[in-house]
Structure 1
Amino acid sequence: MTRPIRVAVLGGGSWGTTVAALAARNTPAILWARDDDVAREVNEQHTNTRYLDDRELPESLEATSDIAEAVTAADVLVMGVPSHAMRSALEDVAPHLRPWVPVISLAKGLEQGTRLRPTQVISEVLPGHPVGLMAGPNLAKEVLDGMAAAAVVAMADDRVAQSLQTLFHNRVFRVYRNDDLLGSELGGVLKNVIAIAAGMAEGLGVGDNTRAMVLTRGLAEMTRLGEAMGGQARTFAGLTGLGDLMATCMSPQSRNRRVGEGIATGKTVEQVIEEMGQVAEGVKTARTVMELGAEHDVALPICCEVDAVVNEGRTATEAYRGLQRETARAEHHGVY
């Protein structure tokens, strides 16, 4: 008999902890948390109240604040740290990770300066490892509450993807596969910027029609840029595109939407982030997305207004006035 696959998840935030909990119900799993108190609470009380209130975690889930302990025996490594911390975390991992261990990213942002996607950073720091991501419309607290949800494991090697599916899949959490790694990853990056616009719409009380318009035209922007960069159009109609966009734009639990709502009430970006105490990837990503749009000659009017709000001090009201000035062309202009 072969021994069970051991999963290590790096990142003791809400989603990292949730993914570790999913894995722990199927196979041995260990969670690395930077904070000793978080690791101790997971081990002793089987909760992570800082991020997930009093929701119970599997008793079989181990936790540690020692990165070597987490990684050395891992057969699969899941990177649940934010995109801005990805490279430094991987550099800490490198001396301890065995060769050829698959590495899966949960991050939904771009590295500042290099504009690299998280999976590209992984490949650069850990060459020779199969690399992929797991993403979808997944709000951590709902998943832990046992509400039905789905995600995608995206990577080039379908055989490895199939083996990873079973590690996280259960009766109410379905895991699909997709070989369009680039498109799947870009969906998670771009939807965060659109979600800030959706949050501003909520905060301004602009109405359901406007919110629906922002979501659908935001999806068009995501698809235009994604295709220009080499992704498949159909990916953006799936779980990592439209699905993730809907969850992030519609749910009050969404950090990026909450940023937009806070801005609409007159708070600064810094004030909203401080109050949340968590990372909102769309804030750091907006300017980089605009750079990519310029590089690939893709118009991104919604992302442009969000960038002006989070980086240049434009108000939410001014941003929506700017969108009203956008010229309407053929609905699918530049999409197909």
Structure 2
Amino acid sequence: MPKSVAILGAGAWGTALATLAKTNSHKVSMWSRQGSQTLAEVVQGADIVLSAVSMKGVRSVTSQLQSLPVSPETIFVTATKGLDPQTTCTPSQIWQETFPNHAVVVLSGPNLSKEIQQELPAATVVASSVMAAAEFVQVVFSSDRFRVYTNYDILGVELGGTLKNVMAIAAGVCDGLHLGTNAKAALLTRGLTEMVRIGVHWGAKLETFYGLSGLGDLLATCNSPLSRNYQVGYQLAVGQTLAEILAHIEGTAEGVNTTQVLVQLSKQQNIPMPITEQVHRLLQGEVTPRQALLELMLRDIKPE
């Protein structure tokens, strides 16, 4: 039976997800700040409210929704990848805190929106502590060109999609400097190790990072010029300033903000994050791309 799906955020990612639901004959309505429909009109009677807004817009949207008569059966799905700079919360933690009695689902995977809009095959993960809600979302979005898996590890799935954005900036630098395949392979392997270290420290399951939302998303984002975060790193490597890059990029490169939050947390919690630290120093203009590379290569030698 057709379901009612409200998509919040009309950027490339929100539009791609809307198209997937429409293709499956579901009733889809979209909301954006520039749109003609109000938030109340869009979410009225929705079985699923899916948020694809940028990280900086999550709290604003949740607080607006809180004052609206949303059905207790409505499932909230978050497709945002980032960390709140004030509280360091993930998007799903903000949604669950605002709507403690609702099921919250995270959708994350190697999903470059332009490829999905071109109807190229892809897979993703939907994770929730309420498995019935994850399975409901799975059915709504699954098709012969978009394969959806379920997972219980909501934190791990969400962090995989968030942390890989930092590594994508580093990968862009690697390619922009033409460092070669060996260097890129080493970077991604050590980058995944860093993601696992952070995620497990915060309570995520190790095996989640070897799935679609971890390794899968890392491979997609670190190897494609379609990735905004990759573009940030690449353009920095060829001599552009961060301000110039962000002024011309389409949408939000969430890795820029995520890097800053992660560095703060690494210092507070004493978690070694050498790649993240060098990406942060590069974004702050404290080192050049080649200096950042040299610092990583000259770290103390140790067992793998």
1:1-336 matches, within 5 Å, as 4-26=2-24, 27-36=26-35, 64-96=36-68, 97-331=70-304
Q: 1:311 is matched by which residue type in structure 2?
A: Q
CA contact (8 A) 2:282 2:292 kept: yes
Structure 1 Cα separation of the partners of residues 130 and 97 of structure 2 = 18
Structure 1 Cα separation of the partners of residues 200 and 278 of structure 2 = 22
How far apart are 1:294 and its partner, in Å?
2.9
SS class of match (1:285): helix
> Can you list the C-alpha shifts for 1:79-118, whole angstroms capped at 9, x where unaligned?
1001111000111222222224111111110001100000
Structure 2 Cα separation of the partners of residues 159 and 278 of structure 1 = 33
CA contact (8 A) 1:228 1:296 kept: no
Q: 1:200 is matched by which residue type in structure 2?
A: V
Structure 1 ranges of 4+ moved more than 3 A: none
> Can you list the C-alpha shifts for 1:41-62, whole angstroms capped at 9, x where unaligned?
xxxxxxxxxxxxxxxxxxxxxx
Q: 2:94 is matched by which residue type in structure 1?
A: V
CA contact (8 A) 2:134 2:150 kept: yes
* Distance change in 2, residues 1:72/1:95 (3 Å): farther
Structure 2 residue runs of 5 or longer lacking an equivalent are none
TM-score normalized with structure 2 length: 0.96
CA contact (8 A) 1:34 1:65 kept: no
Structure 1 Cα separation of the partners of residues 145 and 222 of structure 2 = 23
Structure 2 Cα separation of the partners of residues 100 and 87 of structure 1 = 21
How far apart are 1:312 and its partner, in Å?
4.3
How far apart are 1:147 and its partner, in Å?
1.1
TM-score normalized with structure 1 length: 0.87
Structure 2 Cα separation of the partners of residues 326 and 65 of structure 1 = 54
SS class of match (1:216): helix
> Can you list the C-alpha shifts for 1:2-31, whole angstroms capped at 9, x where unaligned?
x63201010011011101111112211111
CA contact (8 A) 2:105 2:133 kept: no
Structure 2 Cα separation of the partners of residues 65 and 317 of structure 1 = 49
Q: 2:302 is matched by which residue type in structure 1?
A: R
Structure 1 Cα separation of the partners of residues 75 and 267 of structure 2 = 34
How far apart are 1:320 and its partner, in Å?
0.7
Structure 2 Cα separation of the partners of residues 277 and 248 of structure 1 = 16
Structure 2 Cα separation of the partners of residues 277 and 143 of structure 1 = 17
Structure 1 Cα separation of the partners of residues 249 and 71 of structure 2 = 37
CA contact (8 A) 1:10 1:33 kept: yes
Paired residues, number: 302
CA contact (8 A) 1:147 1:172 kept: yes
CA contact (8 A) 1:229 1:296 kept: no
Structure 2 Cα separation of the partners of residues 90 and 35 of structure 1 = 18
Structure 2 Cα separation of the partners of residues 130 and 213 of structure 1 = 39
How far apart are 1:162 and its partner, in Å?
1.0
> Can you list the C-alpha shifts for 1:257-278, whole angstroms capped at 9, x where unaligned?
0000111112111110111132
Q: 1:102 is matched by which residue type in structure 2?
A: I
| Aligned residue number for residue 41 of structure 1 | none
SS class of match (1:104): strand
Structure 1 Cα separation of the partners of residues 281 and 85 of structure 2 = 17
Q: Which moved more, 1:167-176 or 1:157-166?
A: 157-166
